Chain A
Amino acid sequence: MGIRAIKSISWESAKESLNSKFAYLVFFFIMILIYVAILTGIMAVNDEKKVLSDFFIAVTQISLLVFGVFSSALGVSQDIETKRIYLILSRPVKIYEYVFGRIIGVWLSAFFVLFFINLACFLVFVFKGYFFDLNYFYLTSNLYFKILCISSISMFFACITTSSFTAIGISVMVWFISHFITDIKFAFDKMKGSVHFMKYIIYLFPDFSASPSLYSNFKILIYSFVVVLFSSYFFKKTEI
């Protein structure tokens, strides 16, 4: 069955995205971390710990968003542009194995990135003499689910358009819209008449606006899985 092929491809794909982009990203992140930590120390802000942890989470979010969206869009579209995909598909590999291998590789590498970023935050907290509470981990692990989802969406658009540029652009838009799903649904409920049907379009988006819970994360996970399934279905249809 396909598990072995998926494993080989995902491992290779994780190695590739870590090799080329990971080091710079983590390095950059740590520089920002140190810079802000020094800055808050000098400014002596109230509740420094909260300011720091809010800021770290925001930067973690941006870093992972960029990493996830770029790795999955570039992975597929570069394989097509360089025709490396022919070498891979001339082996006994099914399209769905390729697509799942690619996306799982991105998920794995995003996990590594998150791990190192969290480690860096932890060290800054320890260095500053603050207690590092587990809530921080909880927040970032919820973030990880969103990254799983948005990288799948990025993969989906890379598969159907074979253009990394389009895939990245659309994914970033989906990311922002998905954070306002509750508000948008509310707005549509108020509306009447012909625009009402547009309400249903919003159900196509993942819901990042709900407060994180086991249930909402599970929903995001299922959503991502379905998106990857659709990606491989459409990828089969595109002539590469």
Chain B
Amino acid sequence: MTSNSSIAVKFDNVFKSYIIKGFLKNKTTRALNGVSFKVHKKEIVGLFGLNGAGKTTIIKLICGLLTLDSGAVEVFENPINLKSVEYKKLIGYVPELPYFYPFSTAKDTLNFYYSLSSGGFKNNEKSEEVLNLVGLYDRKDDKIKNFSKGMMQRLAIACSLVHDPELLVYDEPTSGLDPISIREIRNIMLGLKEKGKTVILSSHSVSEAEKICDRVIILHKGEIKKIINKEDWADCELEKIFIDTVAYGD
């Protein structure tokens, strides 16, 4: 399923609108307006943009959670549509606001998601291994309802890693976390890159992107305004590029 090609994700002229059902008339909002980009394997790519720029929409399309209006999305050369699900074994997803069943324990939750990816099997060792990685090992038998926001976020990251996927798609993985947790999660992502995984993350934090991303995609109102390589931003310049692009780029 993973091919020899060096491309992990490919967007080709993708259009996406949402239909907002009204009482008499439906309204549509355009979320993506002809988006094309490629993500290479073993890269960390950041999606940047103001609120409502379309970051989450791109991420959901990669995970096969939305249908697109036109264009094409490929993940490891598998064309994405609602029918194909096998490629999802290769994806680990952290949503914007992760939610887990509150009366279940951390370990049971990971076992459940592992079983969905593996076709019904459990793997206690793997669950414990990823809990250890995110620093929740000693809370593994606690009910999730007792977890703090940061712990939920860590659990979501553990959940995205439990089936050992090739591509990680993180929607604001560090929002609402304390500085130490942010650093730990950053190190987890760098560790993943070292293991040869591909990471796509959306973020609002320029300093975070500077520290870990190989490339940054700047989105504005559903369009890609700029794609910047690591070499092209010297210290502290990314913020300026970003603000110039979204504020004066029209």
Contacts and interface: CB of A to CB of B under 8 A. Distances in A.
Contacts of A92: 85-89, 116-117
A178 to B, nearest CB: 30
B205 to A, nearest CB: 22
B64 interface: yes
B85 A94 contact: yes
Nearest to B169: A90
A92 B75 CA distance: 14
Interface stretch (A65-73, A78-86, A105-113): A78-86
B99 to A, nearest CB: 4
B64 A89 contact: yes
B116 A86 contact: no
Contacts of A93: 85, 88, 116
Contacts of B86: 92
Interface residues of A, number: 27
Interface of A is mostly: helix
B95 A87 contact: yes
A24 to B, nearest CB: 13
B23 interface: no
A187 B100 CA distance: 50
Interface in A19-73: 19-20
Contacts of B249: none
Which of A8, A20, A84 has the most chain B CB atoms closer than 10 A to its own CB?
A8
Interface in A84-102: 84, 86-95
B95 A86 contact: yes
A137 to B, nearest CB: 32
B95 A83 contact: yes
B147 interface: no
B19 to A, nearest CB: 7
B95 A91 contact: no
A86 B63 contact: yes
Contact of A88 (B18, B98, B116): B116
Interface of A: 3-5, 7-9, 12, 15-16, 19-20, 82-84, 86-95, 236, 239-240
Given A84-B99, A86-B93, A92-B87, 4 more contacts: A16-B104, A88-B116, A89-B63, A90-B64
17 contacts: A3-B120, A8-B112, A16-B103, A82-B99, A84-B99, A87-B159, A90-B64, A90-B91, A91-B88, A91-B113, A92-B87, A92-B89, A93-B85, A93-B116, A236-B82, A239-B19, A239-B66
